[in-house]
Structure 1
Amino acid sequence: MNKLLIGGLCATMIVGLSACNDDKAEVSTSAAPATQQTAAATAVKAALTSGIELANFDSSVRPQDDFYDYVNGSWIKNTEIPADRTSVGAFYDLREKSKDDIKAIIEDVAAKTDLQAGTDEQKVADLYRSFMDTETLDKLGISPLNPELAKIDAISNTDELMTYFGESQMVGGGTPIGFYIGIDAKDSSRYATHLWQYGLTLPERDYYFNDAERFVKIREQFVDHMINMFKLAGWEKPRKSAEAILKLETAIADAHWDVVASRDSTKTYNKYLLADLKTVAPEINWNNYLHALGGDKQPDIIIGQPSYVTALGKLIKDTDLATWKTYLRWHLLTSFASDLGSNFDEENFDFFARKLNGQAEPEPRWKRGVSKVNGLLGEVVGKVYVKRHFTPEAKARMEQLVENLRQAYADSVDELDWMTPETKAAAKAKLAKFNPKIGYPNKWEDYSKLTIKADDLVGNEMRAGQLEHEKSLAKLGGPIDREEWHMTPQTVNAYYNPTMNEIVFPAAILQPPFFNMEADDAVNYGGIGAVIGHEMGHGFDDQGAKFDGDGNMRDWWTEADLTAFHEKTKALVAQYNGFYVFPDLHVNGELTLGENIGDLSGVTIAYKAYKKSLEGKTAPVLDNLSGDQRFFMGFTQIWRGKFKEEAVRNRVATDPHSPAKFRALGALENMPEFYTTFDVKPGDGMYIEPAQRVKIW
């Protein structure tokens, strides 16, 4: 568990787009030589295509009224969401392609008959087999959980309960509080231990309290689901147990900070000496809990939500031990449900996928097996993935794009009319220290200590969790690992990490429609250029702007500039609050603020970089489209998507990213250059009065 990962294109400190080892593969980790880069650039120039997917356009929609539907409307009308998915679109299609690519790698490995025990290849093959062997899983039933269930049964007092909270987290079971190790946000030269609120089955606290019909029904279905799972497990008093868990989780949820407060990096930084933890929650046996986790080796700890920990202490005291043990059994069972027999797996799918998210059918099992391998042995297959699917030419071209965007960002800072020279200088100093990581890590993850068995799926999961925890503990007291990645190369996403001041772009996102080696620059600046700008923008969004170029959270703004910045962010919040996903549901402008700043900054800076790249020349006309038209179309087509209603409603409640349509429209409606390119005028659907448009960076 690492809350230091703030959101992708896609959690609290690593911010990205969304909506994420040693198999002896030989992978080049250096950029292409200059002559090779020049040859690649010449080849691209010689094969200019627009990269715009014209077949997706809907000519019945005026671009001035709804540019998203204009660019993507025919695709939306003609595309059905497959029964085994809740979403389709640019991101999701690339993720499906990545699964196909990884499946081919896994099958190539699994086809070998001479795999030596302990090698990475053996681990990949046997992990995949352990998931695909449903006959064995059905025979085993719930028995793989018996050792942990016995530990829960043996708990005899609250001191032992706290010990097991720590032990449970390490193996992937349930706990109402999360422990992790990450960089200290106010001293980026050291690793620190952290505590974070945790412990809910439903997606977010509002699911326990909202009286709307949909949420009432979900709570009823949740109880029914727990009853069904308990019956499958052969446990006594299933209804009484389910109702006790709902009551306890509702009390836990009542103490949880909401999603807006929990993304505030200032509010969630609260450092305590271990000796002072008893003042936060005297009911908790901190020695037992932290010793079980190995978290008692440092004198201090950072708590994300202190009031939650205080409330949890009272809950531990006031809730009978039998209820806590029932809670732990439930969370162990639901955590590993998809790793047990088909009856548990199907019931788990029915509630979490079908009822909560509208997914009609499960994914083919092989896709889930691929996801399992990606999750536990991601960098093993990542090495081979890079060798097969990511060229030195693509890496070199991305490196050049990043530097072009960095310069455009610096130029934009110089041109800001609301910022003083003092703050501009600090912003540019931070920008200059951005560390871009492109494609794949220079240092690959070591899985040599992980034991994988073909007939022990649950054990594989638990051993992997234990090893990850041990690796995290080993960081304490040591230097910051600046080579570490938090996404595998085959992940279709990107992220910014404020405590490392780094922007990271895995290989898998560097494909059309985001990055097209065969296309003219306009579509690439509109696509991957906006993604690069988005991640840079996170360094200067409402949370990232609290960190300096060395990754330390500190005040580097003048008071006047910070006030002006907050006024602009308030205006952006108001704009996005006005976007309605459904008649009864609008975007949460506060929750999505950081990502909205990233989107607006990203496309603004990408456009500036694109214009600068032309060096005063006129862009070629391709597909009867000017360069500026292709740029904005390239940006809008990367957000192409179609989603099940249930999934969208869940995302609006929990996801710091706006729904795809509004990621495109919200940014473009604030750009004067878009108005000029498509002749947007008063009365048009996308028109905003100039004084109401937001320009931050």
Structure 2
Amino acid sequence: MSDTAPDALTSGIELDELDPATRPQDDLFRHVNGRWIERTEIPADRARYGSFYLLAEEAERAVRDIIIEAQDSEPGTEERKFGDLYSSFIDEETVEKLGSAPIAGLLEVAAAVDSIPSLLATLGNLERTGTSGFFQLYVDNDPGNPERYLVVVEQAGLGLPDESYYREESFAQIREAYRLHLARMLDLAGLDDLADRAQRVFDLETALAAAHWDNVRTRDSQATYNLATVDEFAALAGDAALIGTWLEGVDGPDGAFAEVVVREPSFVTGLGSLLVEDRLDAWRDWLSWQIVRGTAAYLSSEFVEANFDFYGKTLTGTPEMRARWKRGVSLVEGSMGEAVGRTYVDRHFPPSAKVAMDELVDYLVDAYRDSIAAIDWMGEDTRAKALEKLEKFTPKIGYPVRWRDYSSLETDASDLVGNVRRTAAFEFARELGKIGRPLDRDEWFMTPQTINAYYNPGFNEIVFPAAILQFPFFTADRDAAANYGAIGAVIGHEIGHGFDDQGSRFDGDGRLIDWWTADDRAAFETRTASLIKQYDALAPLQTPDHHVNGALTIGENIGDLGGLGIAWKAYLLSLHGEEPPVVDGLTGAERFFLSWAQAWQLKARDAEVIRLLAIDPHSPSEFRCNQIVRNVDAFYDAFTVTDSDALWLPPEDRVSIW
């Protein structure tokens, strides 16, 4: 598709982009997107590019305009706060002049660590202002008692994308590049004995990675729900004093850690075995590395460029860094996104879009209701509970009803690293401050200007930010088929997460509980196993030696399959028994599936494809499009697909779940 929506949308399909040399029966994805892929060069500052990123660029420009105006706002206002935050990033002259000075004090603190207890207390304290540790902490509602908040403790501590990068032969070159990167960054920070320090950090992270759960196991909502008192949590490390000392450094509110969810208990045990005095030098170097890595993007150009050389060029294949203003916008978005979002919504989200989305959601829920009622593999007890869960879904569209309060946050137009640390401290305190308070069901976990959507199992809610409600996903003035094939399928996808391999373990109140009969769960898992097998066999055209991980992507694949299938049923419901018109020479069914393919337009660099295959629970776009339609009977009818066509899948091999 072109970079902007056509002036006069009728079918909602960009007809000039359709490739007659590629039949939809053989490759729907390239029939719709092939011409665009062929002529499009991925921007030099991107690892991938397509429909989501075109919209993200529009939102980015809109947000920049808001931020620039905010720089002249009254001091003390939220607008001035994010204006000053942006100003501190854009002020390259000051940043260059400071060099590494903003982290000199932090590095001195790391160098002063003289024992494991000293390390733990220091790390806990630094985590309050954004330094990464060996745990990732966040607050969520308790899966066992969803009306209360708990701290969740998750494995962390690695500088590479995940544990597989430390062990798989295919990543050997990246490991070597990472060792060199460690030495380069520590050199810039003014440390000596670079090769030895880099090797110690790498060896320590390799040992940490060996204790990590892999990214398939970490998806398991039951295995990762381990409720523990603070004493039980501490005991997992072997020496309970280790965790106790770290918690003293974190210094959370009273009772914040009285009970926690430990997602990967064996990681805590593995970590405990590494927290020994013999490894003190390695831990001290690792702490220095965490400080440098966490601030490199906000220091002088030599840090920024070295950081990008590895995390951008090496890991994703991206040749050029994003423009400074874009990186400044990202900083504001990540730190004060809702403050910007309030103005974004006022300017860019018409009330009519929310009305249209409400109607689409209603039809999607109706279609799910009809489908669940008719499923032949599910017994009546489970069916009744599935329908009960569906009725309890909460849709959120556009923007939150109550905006986040940033009144206690201070920013300074001349202090970039200080701003980054203060915003991290603000968020850390805001999260831990939830403990003991009533659940805030009005909170959003994405900003309105985000091009995405999500399902939250603990809240049983589906959330659609304002910015995704644009072409190619949605426009109010095009034929309904294209909207149902794009945003309708996205809505269906998010609802479908409530019934995927993990979401289906939560009830309508967000409680992790087994509401299935054993026979129905077995029937469900038979179908999901078939879908896993399908995806395990797939490899992207551009990286044929690297396959999709069907077990890693199964949740998203279930969401895609249910989303598209139910969106089709919702479209039929919206017709109220009438025949859809032929528009631009296309039937309603053709428009529906062409719109689905149009939404997944994407081109990515080889290195990025390989990276995502290792860590991303989403399948590559070509398979989100093509492999899903192979399982949807309506696609065969729409394009008269036969057993001589490449996308043909024998009826007995097609998977239908919801």
What letter corresponds to residue 406 of structure 2 in structure 1?
Y
Equivalent of residue 189 in structure 1, options 147, 151, 160:
147
What letter corresponds to residue 292 of structure 1 in structure 2?
G
For residues 655-674 of structure 1, the aligned pairs below 5 Å read: 655-674=616-635
Matches of residues 298-447 of structure 1 in structure 2 within 5 Å?
A: 298-317=257-276, 319-447=278-406
- Partner Cα separation in structure 2 for residue 290 and residue 232 of structure 1: 31
Counterpart among 265, 269, 292 of residue 249 in structure 2: 292
Distance in 1 of aligned mates of 2:207 and 2:249:
25
* Structure 1 contact 55–74 (Cα < 8 Å) conserved: no
Q: Which residue of 1 aligns with 2:87?
A: 129
Cα separation, 1, equivalents of 2:229 and 2:132: 26
Aligned twin of 2:120? 162
**Structure 1, residues 328-378: CA drift from partner, whole Å, max 9, x if none?**
001110111010001100111111101111111111111111111111111
**What is the CA–CA distance in structure 2 between the aligned matches of 1:305 and 1:494, rounded to whole Å?**
27
Q: 2:146 is paired with a residue of what secondary structure?
A: strand
**Equivalent runs, 1:574-585 vs 2, <5 Å:** 574-581=533-540, 582-585=543-546
Q: Is the 8 A contact 1:440 1:489 kept in 2?
A: yes
AA aligned to 2:150 is A
* Corresponding residue of 2:3: none
Matched position secondary structure for 1:486: coil
Report the Cα offset of residue 296 of structure 1: 6.1
Aligned to 1:8: none
Are the aligned partners of 2:95 and 2:300 in contact in 1 as well (CA < 8 Å)?
Answer: yes
**Do the aligned residues in 2 keep the contact of 1:269 with 1:304 (CA within 8 Å)?**
yes
Query: What is the CA distance between 1:117 and its match in structure 2?
Result: 2.3
CA contact (8 A) 2:115 2:277 kept: no
Cα distance in 1 between the residues matched to 2:273 and 2:588: 62
In the alignment, which residue of structure 1 is the partner of 2:413?
454
User: Normalized against structure 1, the TM-score is what?
Assistant: 0.91
Give 1:170 shift.
1.9
Q: Name the SS for the 2:643 alignment partner.
A: coil
Query: Runs of 4+ in structure 1 displaced over 4 angstroms?
Result: none
* Deviation at residue 319 of structure 1 after TM alignment: 4.4
SS at match of 2:169: coil
Picking from 476, 483, 487, the partner of 2:435 is 476
Question: Does residue 103 in structure 1 map to residue 59 in structure 2?
Answer: no
2:41 aligned counterpart, secondary structure: coil
Q: CA deviation at 1:445?
A: 0.7
1:555 Cα deviation (Å)?
A: 0.6
Maintained 8 Å contact 1:493/1:505: yes
The alignment status of 1:588 with 2:549, answered yes or no, reads yes
Q: How does 1:593-612 map to 2 (within 5 A)?
A: 593-612=554-573
Assess if the C-alpha contact under 8 Å between 2:116 and 2:277 holds in 1: no
Matched with 2:228 is: 272
Q: Aligned partners of 1:481, 1:520: CA distance in 2, in Å? A: 38
Partners of 1:290 and 1:296 within 8 A in 2: no
Matched, 1:639 2:600: yes
2:196 pairs with one of 240, 247, 271: 240
* In 1, Cα distance between equivalents of 2:70 and 2:47: 31
Matched residues, percent identical? 47
SS in 2 for 1:431: helix
Q: Does 1:557 align with 2:516?
A: yes
Partner residue in 2 for 1:92: 53
Structure 1: unaligned runs, 5 residues or longer: 1-46
Higher deviation after alignment, 677-686 or 488-497: 677-686
The structural deviation recorded for 1:258 is: 0.4
From the superposition, tell whether residues 318 and 623 of structure 1 become closer, same or farther in structure 2 (CA, over 3 Å): farther
Q: Deviations over 1:511-554 (max 9, x none)?
A: 00001112110000001000000000000000000000000000
Whether 2:163 is the aligned partner of 1:205: answer yes
> Is it true that 1:532 corresponds to 2:491 in the alignment?
yes
1:154 CA drift (Å): 2.6
- Cα distance, 1:48 vs. partner? 6.7
Q: Is the 8 A contact 1:169 1:178 kept in 2?
A: no
Counterpart residue identity of residue 489, structure 2 = A
Structure-2 separation of matches of 1:326 and 1:404: 57
CA–CA distance in structure 2, aligned partners of residues 277 and 624 of structure 1: 64
Unaligned runs of 5+ in 2: 1-7
Q: Is residue 611 of structure 2 the alignment partner of residue 653 of structure 1?
A: no
Q: Deviations over 1:37-74 (max 9, x none)?
A: xxxxxxxxxx8711101222111011111111111111
What is the alpha-carbon distance in structure 2 between the residues aligned to residue 318 and residue 155 of structure 1?
11
RMSD: 1.2
Deviation for aligned residue 1:455: 1.1
- Following TM superposition, by how much is the alpha carbon of 1:160 offset from its aligned partner in structure 2, in angstroms? 2.2
